[in-house]
């Protein structure tokens, strides 16, 4: 599906630029985007190295395990396929906590560690397993208490109370999370049923 979307975006963009007379812009955009991607990765190297370094300390000292134990009952409900001692649980917990407090740049490296840990136990390495799908739909639904970028943007634009959107935004993100989890369960049960019939 992502293959079709990817080809579609490029083909539609290029063909539309012929009609619209924006082919020159598309030419620049192609290589600007490549440079932009490299710059983004350089930023990632800095952030990932720092946070994964810190994470490794917490892991080796046993702090991560201690904190994971607190959230284990909840996490096992969300991810019924994982064993209670699965190494991914600690990273999932760290990723969700960082996201919740609006620390987006710490959340990404933790999330990627979680994905690596989940992939290590994935019998079908080219297709995501159930836990990966649940983890990612929770991430795209963005369960966060402090949307930090939005708050700082409202601050720079002189909002009387830049934090006034925190409560409604939290309620809205809860809606999308509930929706994501429900759909995830429904889709899962649907595929399980279909596979059994085959």
Partner 1 sequence: MNTLAAVSTLFLPILVIAILLYALTKKTDAYGAFTEGGKEGIRLSISLLPFLLGMLVAINILRASGFLEAMNGWLAPVLVLFSLPPDLLPLLFIRPISGSASLGILADLTATYGPEHFISRAAAIVQGSTDTTLYVLTVYFGAVGIKKMGRALTIGLLADAAGMTAAILITVWYFS
Q: First and final CA of the chain: distance in angstroms?
A: 23
Residue 162 · residue 151 · CB < 8 Å: yes
CB of 55 to partner 1, least distance (A): 6
Dist CA 119 CA 173 (whole Å): 27
Taking the least distance from each CB to partner 1, the nearer of 76 and 102 is 102
CB of 105 to partner 1, least distance (A): 10
Look up residue 127 and give its DSSP letter.
Answer: S
- State the Cα torsion 48-148-166-183 to the nearest 10°: -40
Taking the least distance from each CB to partner 1, the nearer of 14 and 78 is 14
Taking the least distance from each CB to partner 1, the nearer of 36 and 74 is 36
CB of 132 to partner 1, least distance (A): 7
Residue 175 · residue 150 · CB < 8 Å: no
CB of 74 to partner 1, least distance (A): 20
Dist CA 174 CA 12 (whole Å): 35
Dist CA 156 CA 91 (whole Å): 34
Dist CA 188 CA 80 (whole Å): 12
Taking the least distance from each CB to partner 1, the nearer of 28 and 195 is 28
* Tokens 């959107």 found at: 165
CB of 32 to partner 1, least distance (A): 6
């Amino acid at each position: 599906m992502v293959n079709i979307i990817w080809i579609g975006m490029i083909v539609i963009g290029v063909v539309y630029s012929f009609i619209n007379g924006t082919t020159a812009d598309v030419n620049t955009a192609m290589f600007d985007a490549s440079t932009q991607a490299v710059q983004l990765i350089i930023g990632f190297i800095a952030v990932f190295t720092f946070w994964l370094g810190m994470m490794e300390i917490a892991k080796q000292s046993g702090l991560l395990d201690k904190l994971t134990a607190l959230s284990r009952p909840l996490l096992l409900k969300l991810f019924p396929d994982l064993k209670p001692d699965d190494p991914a649980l600690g990273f999932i917990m760290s990723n969700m906590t960082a996201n919740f407090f609006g620390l987006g740049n710490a959340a990404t490296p933790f999330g990627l560690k979680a994905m690596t840990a989940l992939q290590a136990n994935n019998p079908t390495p080219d297709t995501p397993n159930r836990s990966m799908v649940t983890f990612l739909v929770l991430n795209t639904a963005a369960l966060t208490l402090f949307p930090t970028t939005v708050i700082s943007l409202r601050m720079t634009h002189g909002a009387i109370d830049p934090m006034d959107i925190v409560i409604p935004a939290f309620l809205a993100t809860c809606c999308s999370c509930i929706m994501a989890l429900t759909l995830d369960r429904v889709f899962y049960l649907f595929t399980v049923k279909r596979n059994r019939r085959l």
